[in-house]
């Protein structure tokens, strides 16, 4: 019992140092509370970070689709799969009569997970082109953050 009495005991007020600090137990309790709070905030932040990546990929796909449509209006054809999305930034060497780009504000990049966007001509379901991100896993299919995002599905 004496050990716990020593841990929680305080020096008499008249003998106490006016610049004295906290007891060891008080310090441990405060550190524990801070750790719990920061870990809770971390979990919430990571959840929103994942959502932000999905929103960014959807926005990129919409922007590329709009740029491809503008490219088509100028060139009367879509870029080939070999030319890819780079044809929206740099004039291709062939089949680019009427090219009036660049059609994007910056060079096309990768999706938020570091994978290239999949561009196909013609696209699925009779569409003129298809754009897709394979999600966080970089593989076709998947659920949640690994779900594919495409220009032909919501």
CATH assignment of the domain containing 70: 3.30.700.10
Query: Does residue 18 belong to any structural domain of this protein?
Result: no
Query: Does residue 71 belong to any structural domain of this protein?
Result: yes
Query: Does residue 103 belong to any structural domain of this protein?
Result: yes
pLDDT bracket for residue 12 (50, 70, 90)? low
> Measured on CA atoms in the order 91, 96, 102, 107, is the torsion positive or negative?
negative
Please name which of 117, 153, 112, 154 lies closest in space to residue 136, comparing C-alpha atoms.
112
For residue 80, give Cα distances in angstroms to 100, 144, 152: 17, 31, 18
How many residues comprise the chain? Answer: 154
Q: What is the model's pLDDT at position 114?
A: 94
Distance CA 36, CA 42 (A): 10
Please name which of 48, 71, 41, 24 lies closest in space to residue 145, comparing C-alpha atoms.
48
For residue 139, give Cα distances in angstroms to 115, 122, 136: 10, 21, 8
Query: Does residue 83 belong to any structural domain of this protein?
Result: yes
117 CB-near residues (< 8 Å, 6+ apart):
60, 61, 64, 85, 108, 110, 111, 131, 132, 133
Query: Does residue 2 belong to any structural domain of this protein?
Result: no
The mean pLDDT value for 53-61 works out to 93
134 CB-near residues (< 8 Å, 6+ apart):
111, 115, 118, 140, 142, 148
pLDDT > 60? residue 10: no
Residue 1 has which token pair? 């019992």
pLDDT > 70? residue 21: yes
Query: Does residue 7 belong to any structural domain of this protein?
Result: no
Query: Does residue 107 belong to any structural domain of this protein?
Result: yes
Query: Does residue 14 belong to any structural domain of this protein?
Result: no
pLDDT 10s digits, 102-139 = 999 999 999 999 999 999 999 998 999 999 999 988 88
> How many domains would you assign to the chain?
1
Domain assignment of residue 49, given as a range: 23-150
pLDDT bracket for residue 18 (50, 70, 90)? low
Give kind and range of the element (H or E) at residue 132: strand 130-133
């Amino acid at each position: 019992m004496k050990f716990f009495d020593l841990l929680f005991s305080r020096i008499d007020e008249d003998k106490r140092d006016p610049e004295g600090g906290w007891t060891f137990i008080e310090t441990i309790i405060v550190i524990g509370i801070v750790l719990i709070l920061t870990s809770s905030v971390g979990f919430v932040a990571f959840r929103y970070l994942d959502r932000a990546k999905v929103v960014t990929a959807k926005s990129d796909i919409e922007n590329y689709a709009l740029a491809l449509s503008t490219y088509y209006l100028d060139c009367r054809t879509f870029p080939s799969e070999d030319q890819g999305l780079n044809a929206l930034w740099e004039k291709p060497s062939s089949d680019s009569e009427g090219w009036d780009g660049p059609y994007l504000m910056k060079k096309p990049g990768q999706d938020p997970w570091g994978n290239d966007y999949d561009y196909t001509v013609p696209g699925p379901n009779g569409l003129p082109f298809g754009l897709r991100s394979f999600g966080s896993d970089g593989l076709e299919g998947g659920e949640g953050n690994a779900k594919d995002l495409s220009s032909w599905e919501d």
